[in-house]
Amino acid sequence: MAYGEKVLDHYENPRNVGKMDADDASVGTGMVGAPACGDVMRLQIKIDDNGVIEDAKFKTYGCGSAIASSSLLTEWVKGKTLDEASQIKNSEIAEELALPPVKIHCSVLAEDAIKAAIDDLKSKSDNAVAS
Amino acid sequence: MKSNMQLPIYLDYSATTPVDPRVAEKMSACLTNEGNFGNAASRSHSFGWQAEEAIETGRAQVAELINADPREIVWTSGATESDNLGIKGAARFYQKNGKHIITSSIEHKAVLDTCRQLERDGYEITYLPPDENGITQPEAVEAAMREDTVLVSIMHANNEIGVVNDVAAIGEITRARKVIFHVDGAQSVGKIPVDVVAMKIDLLSMCAHKMYGPKGIGALYVCRKPRVRIEAQIHGGGHERGMRSGTLPTHQIVGFGEAARVAQEGMAEENARLITLRQRLWDGVSDMEEVYLNGHPEQRLPGALNVSFNFVEGESLIMALKDLAISSGSACTSASLEPSYVLRALGRSDELAHSSLRFSVGRFTTEEDVDHAISQVRAAVEKLRDLSPLWDMYKDGIDLNSVQWAAH
C-alpha cells in the first residue's frame, strides 16, 4: 500500500515520542486499543497551572497510519486547553494525513486516546478535591 | 568497494519467483510467427503436431519431477484451479461413497474456500488444527476418519510459515482406507523432493511460478494406479482427456516443463545454499530479545523463514524496511484487523501473530542481500520498539495478558 507524504513524514520522524510519569497529578494518560487488534496507543498530556496542555508524549504499537495519527495529535494538543483538545475530531486527523478508508480507524483511535487522557486528568483532579 | 546489490532486495520467493532466463528463452520460441505457435489440438498440419510435441515434452518433464507418468498430468491455469479441480472434482465424483472431507485449518485459501463451497453444497468438512509447530500430525488425520470420509486434503508445505508435512505418512493412512488423498504442492514441488508413488498421493496441485516458471500455468496430478476419477469443472472441447477443457498454452507449458527440468537438475545443490542463507538470516536476528521462529525449526522449506518480533506491529515493520520486499504474516495490510489465521492456529498470541515477517530466499539471493536485510531488520525493530508502549510495559515487567484492553 502506498502511504501519503504526511504519514511517511510522521512515521520517519515521529514527534514527541516518550513517556511521562503517569502518577503525576498534572499528567493525564490515555491508553487505547488492544494488541489483538494490532493497535495500542498511549497518549500522555501534561497541563500547566492554567489548565493548558504544555507537553504531550506518545508511544504507539501499530501500523504507520496509527503512529502518524498519534504523532500528529501530540503536535495539535500542545497549547490547547482541555476543552479545546477534546474538540479534536478524528475526521480532522484523517483529512490532514490523507488516510485511506481502511485506515480511518487509526484516527478514531487517536481521538479516543486524547479523550481518555483528558478523562484521566479530570478523574485525578476530582479525586484530589474529594480527599 | 562497489556493491552489486540491487535495491530493493527481493525476499518474497514464497509469493512468486522470477522466471529463470533458461525458461524465458524456451518460452519465447513458442509465440511468434517464426516460432512454435500452433494449436496442439490441430491434427491436420505440422503447426499443430509441433505444438503437441512441445507440450508432451513439458508434460514428461513435470511428470518426471514428481515421479509420475506423463498421462497423469492435467494442465490447469495454476494451483488455485488445481485445488478446485482436485477437491471439487473428487468430492463430486465420489459423493455416493460419502460427503465427509478432512483438511487442515492452515491450508491456503484456495483449499479452504473450496471446502467452504462444498459445505454449502451439503458436504461436511473437518478442519484439523496443526500442532504448535504448524505440522498436521498423521495421527490427527487418522483419528478424524469416518465411514463416510471420501477425501483428505493436506498441503505439503505451508505458504506462510514454510513448514513441511509428512505427506507420506498421511498417504499410508488414506491409501489403506481407499480414501482419496489430495495434496496442495504449490509451495513444495520444484523446491523439495516430491514422489507421488512413494508418498501415495492421489491428487497433487502444482504451479510453475513458485519454481522459476511463468505465472498462469499449473497442473493437477491425477493418479492412474490406483485409478482416481474426478468430475470436470471446466467443460468444452474435451482437452486433457475431458478433465480440463481449453486450448493448451504451448509457451506456458514449455516454460513449466523447463522450470521443472532445471529445478530437478540443481535441487540438492540449490537447497544446500538456501539453507545456509536462511540460517544466516535467522542467526542474524535471533539474538535480539523477544524474537520467535514460527513453525517447525527443521521440518521446513529450505528458503522459508517466518519470524515474530514481539511488541512490534508487522505492517509498520515492513514500512520501515524500504529496501526489502517481504510480506507480513499478518493480514493487517488488508481491511481486516484479524491477525494471521495461520499463526493463531499455532497458538501464537495476538501480539506475536501481528508481529510476524515472512522472509523467503531463493535462487538469486546472495549473502550480501541477507546481510543487508539483517542490518535493516535490526535497526527497524529497535526503532519501533522505542515507539512501542507494549515494549515499555514488557520492560517494566507488566504481563500484557493481565491488562484490561479497551478493544475497538
The percentage of chain A sitting over the pLDDT mark of 90, rounded to a whole number, equals: 85
pLDDT tens for the 408 residues of chain B, in order? 456 788 999 999 999 999 999 999 999 999 999 999 999 999 999 999 999 999 999 999 999 999 999 999 999 999 999 999 999 999 999 999 999 999 999 999 999 999 999 999 999 999 999 999 999 999 999 999 999 999 999 999 999 999 999 999 999 999 999 999 999 999 999 999 999 999 999 999 999 999 999 999 999 999 999 999 999 999 999 999 999 999 999 999 999 999 999 999 999 999 999 999 999 999 999 999 999 999 999 999 999 999 999 999 988 999 999 999 998 765 444 444 567 889 999 998 888 888 999 999 999 999 999 999 999 999 999 999 999 999 999 999 998 888 888 755
* Identity of residue B187: Q
Crossing angle between the packed helical segments B367-387 and B250-285, to the nearest 10 degrees: 60
Interface of A to B at Cβ within 8 Å reads: 1, 3, 11, 14, 17, 19, 31-42, 59-64, 66-67, 102, 105, 108-109, 112, 116
Q: Locate B192 and state its grid cell.
A: 523439495
**CB A106 within 8 Å of CB A39:** yes
The pTM of the full predicted model, rounded to 2 decimals, is: 0.92
Grid cell at residue B254: 514449455
Cis omega (within 30 of 0) for bond into B70 = no
- SS3 string, chain B, reads CCCCCCCCEECECCCCCCCCHHHHHHHHCCCCCCCCCCCCCCCCCHHHHHHHHHHHHHHHHHHHHCCCCHHHEEEECCHHHHHHHHHHHHHHHCHHHCCEEEEECCCCHHHHHHHHHHHHCCCEEEEECCCCCCCCCHHHHHHHCCCCEEEEEEECECCCCCEECCHHHHHHHHHHCCCEEEEECCCCECCECCCCCCCCCCEEEEECCCCCCCCCCEEEEECCCCCCCCCCCCCCCCCHHHCCCCCCCHHHHHHHHHHHHHHHHHHHHHHHHHHHHHHHHHHHHCCCCCEEECCCCCCECCCEEEEEECCCCHHHHHHHCCCEECEECCHHHCCCCCCCHHHHHCCCCHHHHHCEEEEECCCCCCHHHHHHHHHHHHHHHHHHHHHCHHHHHHHCCCCHHHCCCECC
Query: Chains A, B: CB contacts under 8 A, how many?
Result: 90
- Nearest of B183, B190, B216, B14 to residue B90 by alpha carbon: B183
Angle formed by the axes of helices A5-12 and A90-97, nearest 10°: 100
Write the CB contacts of A69 (distance below 8 Å, at least 6 apart in sequence): A41, A93, A97, A99, A106, A107, A109, A110
Torsion sign (Cα): B31, B35, B41, B45? positive
Which residues in chain B have Cβ-Cβ distances shorter than 8 Å to A36?
Answer: 339, 350, 405, 407
Residue B115 a catalytic site member: no
Among A29, A31, A37, the strongest candidate for a mutation testing the B interface, having the largest count of B CBs within 10 A, is: A37
Contact B131, B141 (CB under 8 A): no
Record: contact A112-B349, CB cut-off 8 A: no
Interface test with B, best of A15, A40, A97 (most B CBs within 10 A): A40
Cell 492456529 found at: B345
Contacts of B406 in chain A (CB under 8 A): 31-34, 112, 116
- Cell matching residue B355: 508481529
Q: Classify the phi-psi angles of B248: left when phi > 0, otherwise alpha if psi is within -120 to 50, otherwise beta.
A: beta
Rounded to the nearest angstrom, the minimum Cα separation between B395 and chain A is: 13
Determine whether the interchain pair B351/A39 forms a contact, defined as Cβ–Cβ distance below 8 Å: no
Point out the residue among B319, B349, B386 whose CB comes nearest to the CB of A17: B386
The pLDDT of residue B328: 78
B408 touches chain A (CB under 8 A): yes
Q: Are B291 and B315 in contact (CB under 8 A)?
A: no
The ipTM (two decimal places) reads: 0.93
CA gap B144, B127 in Å, rounded: 9
Would the CB atoms of B389 and A40 count as touching at under 8 Å?
yes
